[in-house]
Amino acid sequence: MGIRHQAVQWNGAKIVYDLYMLAALAAFLAVFMIIGLRPHPNGHQADAVVLMIRALGTVSFLMLTITLMIGPLARFSPRFLPLLYNRRHLGVLTFLVATAHFGLSLIWYHGGGPLNPFVSLLVSNPLYKSPQGFPFEIFGLAAFVILFLMAATSHDFWLKNLSASVWKLLHMLVYAAFGLLVLHIAYGALMTEKSVVYPILVFAALALVAGSHLAAGLREWARDSGMKGVKAPDGWIDVCAPEDIPDKRAVIAPLPTGDRVAVFRDGGKIYAVENACRHQNGPLGEGCIKDGVITCPWHGWQYRPEDGVSPPPYEERISTHDVQLSPLGRVFVRVKKNPLGAAGKFASIEGAAS
Amino acid sequence: MRRPQRRLHVLMWLAVAPAAIAGVYLALNNAPAVPAEPIADVIVTDTEQP
């Protein structure tokens, strides 16, 4: 939490995770090069630089595919949440590998000539109207620009200054970048390959990423559509019975405003807070109460359940909602948020351990 | 995520996925039946003309 300046935010777990990533990357490149440099039966040997360009492009696409799979997987199963916690470093490493692919390609194919390599990249193939010879590099260049913007603004400093909503909007461009990379491969490498394995692999990556995102997104859309039926004539909504909320966990309830509220139970007390974390709008209600504070499942940001304020030295705040128990033993939550930092009214369950 | 972001997330994929599938389909349909052969070693272009 917080926005203290630090170029890369590391801790022990992230260092171990990064070392695993680097080891896997090195292993992939080594195996790719060893297999690719074996002499061909007809005596032809692949060029090492061209092979390295292919290896870097392949592994960066694979890394982006894995990065994009983490979000929907974490939506479907909390077992994948640790990957979400470390996703930003994987994304930045993907950008660095893509930069190596882009830089080496630029030098190898467009360097050394009379034209500036960047100009050469744009004008060397003018077949923009040809479906067969279309300059596939343009798709890759557009995707690279998006990845650059994302990597440049990946630090929490930018998240804080752009606001979570704008930052998230900017980073959703990665979906367009993925589509552009699929086209980059289709109009580039797939045009010269004889084997059907490569188109199948690209289609599989596209189907996995797009399918899982759409499945997770449409499920949320259906939940949002269900909110239309929520009525709160007196400004309060009936959420559930107290025993429906597992201890230290929450039930997420829709509000007529379109927002969601997370109703937590901590022993004998029931609290309600807005469901969006201040950091990246993560679903707080899918987190838990740890050491007395609500902990976001995405990156571990924490808030006190009684007033929605992060424990010192942090200062982030989320809104609380008032809670009351009806005589029939139902948990009611007030639709109107309390001002930021203001303590909400909580409900006590008689006889429950607090 | 908040509701506008959730909506945008779905809408973006509804745009990106069909566009990518159509692009790949078009590319594969227009791929040469026989991929270009590598340039023969005997062909050189960086020597002076006799």
- Residues of chain A positioned with their CB less than 8 A from the CB of B9: 172, 213, 217
Contact assignment for A172 to B27 by CB distance below 8 Å: no
**Min distance B48 CA to chain A CA atoms (Å):** 18
Nearest CA-CA partner of A338 in A315, A320, A318: A320
How much is the mean pLDDT over chain A? 88
Query: Is the pLDDT higher at A57 or at A189?
Result: A57
B contact set with A (CB within 8 A): 1-10, 12-14, 16-17, 19-21, 23-24, 26-32, 35-36, 38
User: Does B16 sit within 8 Å of A176, measured CB to CB?
Assistant: yes
* ipTM of the modeled complex: 0.78
Q: Which chain B residues have a beta carbon less than 8 Å from that of A297?
A: none
First to last CA, chain B: 70
Question: What contacts A203, CB < 8 A, 6 or more positions away?
Answer: B24
At position A216, the amino acid (one-letter code) is A
Residue A231 has which token pair? 């009525």
Residues of B in contact with A165 (CB under 8 A): 2, 4-5
Asked if the model's pLDDT at residue A318 lies above 70, the reply is yes
Q: Name the residue facing A258 among B3, B17, B38 (closest C-beta).
A: B3
Give me Rg for the CA atoms of chain A.
25
Q: In sequence order, what DSSP letters do the residues of A52-71 get, joined into one string?
A: HHHHHHHHHHHHHHHHHHHH
Give yes or no for a cis peptide into A313 (omega within 30° of 0): yes
* Helix locations, chain A, DSSP H: 12-36, 48-76, 81-85, 87-110, 117-123, 137-152, 156-162, 164-171, 173-187, 189-192, 197-226
Determine the Cα–Cα distance for residues A252 and A260; give it in Å rounded to an integer: 7
pLDDT for A5 equals 45
Structure confidence by residue, pLDDT tens digits, B1-50:
777 888 899 999 999 999 999 999 988 888 776 655 555 555 555 555 55
B-chain CB neighbours of A176 within 8 Å are: 12, 16
Query: Which of A198, A221, A277, A286 is the best residue to mutate to test the B interface, defined by the most B CB atoms within 10 Å of its own CB?
Result: A221
Q: How far is A169 from chain B (nearest CA, A)?
A: 7
Whole-model pTM: value is 0.81
Per-residue confidence (pLDDT) for residue A3, from 0 to 100: 47
Collect all residues with Cβ–Cβ distance below 8 Å to A282 and sequence separation of at least 6: A276, A296, A297, A298, A299, A301, B1
Task: Choose from A43-57, A176-190, B20-34 the range with maximum mean pLDDT.
Answer: A176-190
Of the candidates B5, B19, B27, the beta carbon closest to that of A187 is on B27
| Span A31-45, pLDDT tens digits | 999 999 988 777 777
pLDDT digits (tens, 9 = 90+) for A115-137: 999 999 999 888 888 877 889 99
CB contact under 8 A, B27 and A176: no
